[in-house]
Structure 1
């Protein structure tokens, strides 16, 4: 389904540019532009990194213009994956007033969504400004704050040019000016409302108040930068020059510089004045400890757990291609309605997979997507609609092999026909009494989805996660060993993504834009998966399957903030089940026994921590 894309255009000068620019810079400037992109019910913009908000609620007020850029067919999950990649480019430290600002970000987003650029009058403003006498005089100071600009240098300003002064407006969010001292530095803020918002939206914040005429500030500044940047995942640091941001200085009653103020969950925690390095270090450490007390799992020695592979389990065999296609063709009824072109297309898929298998074995170039044929996906969909469920397993096996290819996986991640979702639902609807080969091949498809980040994200996205859970829950208790083993592999693959998401540093200012779809997983969904895994664990007798189930539970509950998964496992008696299995020699391997013991400790310490906090 298509989604409308709108560009919000703001004037950060609130009309002052239009009225004063001619006299000040020698040419008419209509606005100091800031832009954002509205898509999927959110407003995305670049400030302290990539941010998002409910449209029209950002600190920039109301837009002066809304530009309709058309509609996009790109799904929300794919867009969020793109945002995740963009966060590596549009970081707070990478902000540049002239070269890498909010308007560059909006332009890149619009190019991705609809293939269109934002209006030239916005993107050309920095160059136009630098071509004025005032812009030439301001350039040294701007480059001193942000680093060299890619815009062509203008001739040196005349001695009679206007004197350089601190800018009162910017081409983007006014809070993101960066000092540069040869390395990464902490951002300056000049806007009071954004500073307050930052303090409120971060668990731990330290604000360094400085001034240009303060010699001790120049001594302590690089120490402050080093400390804050080294602990960037635990604390948010900003700087305020009270000469440039007098309103902030008055609001926080700063009477001397340097002054350091520490905030915990939006409330002032402590402060001190002076360039005391030891006090600065200890104050930052105390704030971090108060904001992020050590998780009980961090205090455990978890050697077996830490040695678990973080690589998903996939089924990548490509050695039985011809028999699979022969079986599929034998199932196709003569009156199926396949045309001669359909048969040729099916043969192309077979040849393409065979070439890919050969390329992998000989480490030679793989066949191109063009060689797969123009109608491979519609044909597979058509065949799926013809065959009864019990005869679909060779078709599903072909799909298992295809989704191992990144480009094919991308096609199914953007699939409007919901091919994978429907396949997962079919297993759940037929239950354990349905076609066991079809269920097995569907499980392997689900595991192989995790071979590429995009498709792995899709099967856990809001569109597909319920059917993925149904597939897992249905098959974990199967009477077929091979099916249970593959279901346990799927449980492990899901748990790996959950653990990865939890370990990734979060955007504490705008957590809704941390870039990973798994952060939006409902706790109920996690608990239902864990309940099914625990039920399968209690009945299982295969040590290999038990190993995957134990590893899955460990991934689900390791370092979880709410402790809810560990508490649930304790209620369901998982520690007792593990002790009994080890005691009865159902689990004998030393590494698995060690993992079971570590999981019991993870559950125990989390339950105790939850009891203390409640």
Structure 2
């Protein structure tokens, strides 16, 4: 018997978003959506975990809209089992305002019940909000409360958010800038305490004091915008209209406009008055040079290193789905075998992966998470508990294929049981020689974790990084070529993530796009990884594996603050090892030889810079 599925849509702002969003965030937002799913006479929603109530009796009152999602043939007992399994993902602690909220829950439930997504205007709201200047300014605070978000704001000119359109409204901190044709503009500030905080919190800051009655100000303003925005994260630019922010004008003793003040690490560095373009340009350049002395690596011509791919190495083959499942079933003991429901669920996983494989080849639609079945994850955990470690490699191969899917990866990234980390630990426990196939598949799972930003971040988070490092260290010196090659791939992927994080760490506009994800990696953790990679390079005789190891070292030490990684590589004799590999013809290809030489130069210049600063 079919059952009607209804989506209840609520507006948590009670109409305020529709009336005020354009003025506040520069974009029309019709509602702050909360959704729930009504089926089997109950209203299911996500808040402090998965909850249910008599429809219309939740604390949210009556919905503003009811959407008929269709009918489902799924029995109530199967649905309730699905809800029980979902509780592992949608826990109270796993709630994320942007990534794992009530609307994600409703979408997953509707996909399972009727194979449909909830309206796009609801699921796209976080991305729409983050693509506004106000949303980007709020992102660090939101992520400070809930953790990093998988949403990436769309870039705008100069890599900065466009200014909020003028609407006649202003907040206590910002007022809308004048429209400037053809590009983004530096924001205005009207709050004295916010300005002081900005100056203190940025290494290099320039403040442009202007006024509405100043003709030269209108001439120099677009030039100021272009100069400041073209410098990206090297300098923070601010505008102050002293007619609107008189307290700021008095505090900084501005006597005329235009006046430019330059601040280095919170202290006034210089200032001048007048619309002199040449002086403005040279003053900005001098401030940046004083704030950010050139890293020694910035002076090197690193053609091979800069030509390296920034894409992680992953193992994305889906060609052997049927043989893997057949092998797994031969290992399942009859006395501890699976139930009929388990077999059906295992078949669903197999069919889901085959549909994914076909979708890649034929450009057909991907299967939904609902098609994966209600208890796929508990079943994999159950099988792992049944099988001895040496027989787990087909199960691990299935997991390798599954984590390539973004939503599956998200489940494991938010897994309170740390299933992946326990898998990594098993290699260290049994030794990489204990079960060579299982260790190899585990390494491939670790590499595939980097196929999605969220799971790649998770395996290097404080909860997981020690196990990830131990997996790397345990396998880099394996006697099995394929295992060492995959371990070198993992080292490369970790290096890519470290380098990506470092390149974004100074981005004051989008600090959460990766720059703050890994900045708290302990120096000891980096040093242990580099030590293991160094030892592996010394013993390695395969050029292909050496290429990945050398590339990982380059990513670890390039533009590194403090040069500790490069200094360690020098102490461990890595430059000599690389020279010997080239001289002994272990490394022959021109691109690998060139990379070895560039890494030697990175180490040499970093060590010299560190010695000079001591």
The equivalences for 1:78-97 within 5 A come to: none
Is the Cα contact below 8 Å between 2:111 and 2:370 reproduced in 1? no
1:172 aligns to 2:175 (yes or no): yes
For 2:341 and 2:375, how far apart are their aligned partners in 1?
10
Q: Secondary structure at the match of 2:336?
A: coil
Which residue in 1 is equivalent to 2:460?
A: 460
Structure 1 residue 202 displacement after superposition:
0.5
Structure 1 residue 56 displacement after superposition:
36
Bigger CA drift: 40-49 or 557-566?
40-49
Per-residue CA distance 1:72-100 (angstroms, 9 max, x = gap):
99999999999999999999999999999
The alpha-carbon distance between structure 1 residues 64 and 91, as it changes in their structure 2 partners (threshold 3 A), is: same
Structure 1 residue 67 displacement after superposition:
29
For 2:219 and 2:130, how far apart are their aligned partners in 1?
33
Is the Cα contact below 8 Å between 2:443 and 2:486 reproduced in 1? yes
Q: Secondary structure at the match of 1:171?
A: coil
The alpha-carbon distance between structure 1 residues 125 and 485, as it changes in their structure 2 partners (threshold 3 A), is: closer
Bigger CA drift: 353-362 or 483-492?
353-362
Is the Cα contact below 8 Å between 2:155 and 2:161 reproduced in 1? no
The alpha-carbon distance between structure 1 residues 504 and 164, as it changes in their structure 2 partners (threshold 3 A), is: closer
For 1:104 and 1:444, how far apart are their aligned partners in 2?
29
Per-residue CA distance 1:172-219 (angstroms, 9 max, x = gap):
9999xxx65564211111111111111111010001111222222122
The alpha-carbon distance between structure 1 residues 489 and 503, as it changes in their structure 2 partners (threshold 3 A), is: same
Bigger CA drift: 107-116 or 519-528?
107-116
Is the Cα contact below 8 Å between 1:75 and 1:414 reproduced in 2? no
Q: How many residues align?
A: 609
For 1:218 and 1:532, how far apart are their aligned partners in 2?
59
Per-residue CA distance 1:217-243 (angstroms, 9 max, x = gap):
122111111111111321111111222
The equivalences for 1:512-551 within 5 A come to: 516-551=516-551
Per-residue CA distance 1:294-337 (angstroms, 9 max, x = gap):
21111111111111111111111222222211221111111114
For 2:196 and 2:232, how far apart are their aligned partners in 1?
19
Q: Secondary structure at the match of 2:234?
A: coil
Is the Cα contact below 8 Å between 1:74 and 1:414 reproduced in 2? no
The alpha-carbon distance between structure 1 residues 304 and 398, as it changes in their structure 2 partners (threshold 3 A), is: same
Q: Which runs of 5+ in 1 are unaligned?
A: none
Structure 1 residue 550 displacement after superposition:
0.4
For 2:177 and 2:241, how far apart are their aligned partners in 1?
13
Structure 1 residue 65 displacement after superposition:
30
Which residue in 2 is equivalent to 1:158?
A: 156
Which residue in 2 is equivalent to 1:130?
A: 130
Bigger CA drift: 206-215 or 264-273?
206-215
Per-residue CA distance 1:451-499 (angstroms, 9 max, x = gap):
1222111111222111111111111111111111100000001111111
Structure 1 residue 123 displacement after superposition:
20
CA RMSD of aligned residues (A): 12.9
Is the Cα contact below 8 Å between 1:547 and 1:592 reproduced in 2? yes
Is the Cα contact below 8 Å between 1:34 and 1:171 reproduced in 2? no
Per-residue CA distance 1:418-440 (angstroms, 9 max, x = gap):
11010001111222342111111
The alpha-carbon distance between structure 1 residues 46 and 596, as it changes in their structure 2 partners (threshold 3 A), is: farther
Per-residue CA distance 1:239-290 (angstroms, 9 max, x = gap):
1122222221122121111111111111111111111111111111111111
For 1:383 and 1:156, how far apart are their aligned partners in 2?
42
Structure 1 residue 355 displacement after superposition:
2.4
The alpha-carbon distance between structure 1 residues 345 and 431, as it changes in their structure 2 partners (threshold 3 A), is: same
Structure 1 residue 590 displacement after superposition:
1.6
Q: Secondary structure at the match of 2:224?
A: helix
Q: Secondary structure at the match of 1:338?
A: coil
For 1:172 and 1:183, how far apart are their aligned partners in 2?
18
Structure 1 residue 364 displacement after superposition:
2.6
For 1:124 and 1:46, how far apart are their aligned partners in 2?
18
1:105 aligns to 2:131 (yes or no): no
The alpha-carbon distance between structure 1 residues 2 and 441, as it changes in their structure 2 partners (threshold 3 A), is: farther
Is the Cα contact below 8 Å between 2:297 and 2:606 reproduced in 1? yes
Bigger CA drift: 518-527 or 360-369?
360-369
Per-residue CA distance 1:99-140 (angstroms, 9 max, x = gap):
999999999999999999999999999999999999999999
The alpha-carbon distance between structure 1 residues 173 and 613, as it changes in their structure 2 partners (threshold 3 A), is: farther
Is the Cα contact below 8 Å between 1:174 and 1:191 reproduced in 2? no
Bigger CA drift: 435-444 or 130-139?
130-139
Structure 1 residue 551 displacement after superposition:
0.6
Structure 1 residue 365 displacement after superposition:
2.6
Is the Cα contact below 8 Å between 1:102 and 1:172 reproduced in 2? no
Bigger CA drift: 316-325 or 282-291?
316-325
For 1:536 and 1:162, how far apart are their aligned partners in 2?
42
For 1:29 and 1:156, how far apart are their aligned partners in 2?
17
The alpha-carbon distance between structure 1 residues 289 and 385, as it changes in their structure 2 partners (threshold 3 A), is: same
For 1:543 and 1:325, how far apart are their aligned partners in 2?
35
Bigger CA drift: 477-486 or 183-192?
183-192
TM-score where L is the length of structure 1: 0.72
Q: Which runs of 5+ in 2 are unaligned?
A: 166-170
Structure 1 residue 516 displacement after superposition:
4.2
For 2:448 and 2:293, how far apart are their aligned partners in 1?
38
TM-score where L is the length of structure 2: 0.72
For 1:534 and 1:220, how far apart are their aligned partners in 2?
54
For 1:157 and 1:535, how far apart are their aligned partners in 2?
41
Is the Cα contact below 8 Å between 1:93 and 1:184 reproduced in 2? no
For 1:519 and 1:492, how far apart are their aligned partners in 2?
18
Bigger CA drift: 506-515 or 35-44?
35-44
Bigger CA drift: 28-37 or 52-61?
52-61
1:287 aligns to 2:290 (yes or no): no
The alpha-carbon distance between structure 1 residues 215 and 402, as it changes in their structure 2 partners (threshold 3 A), is: same
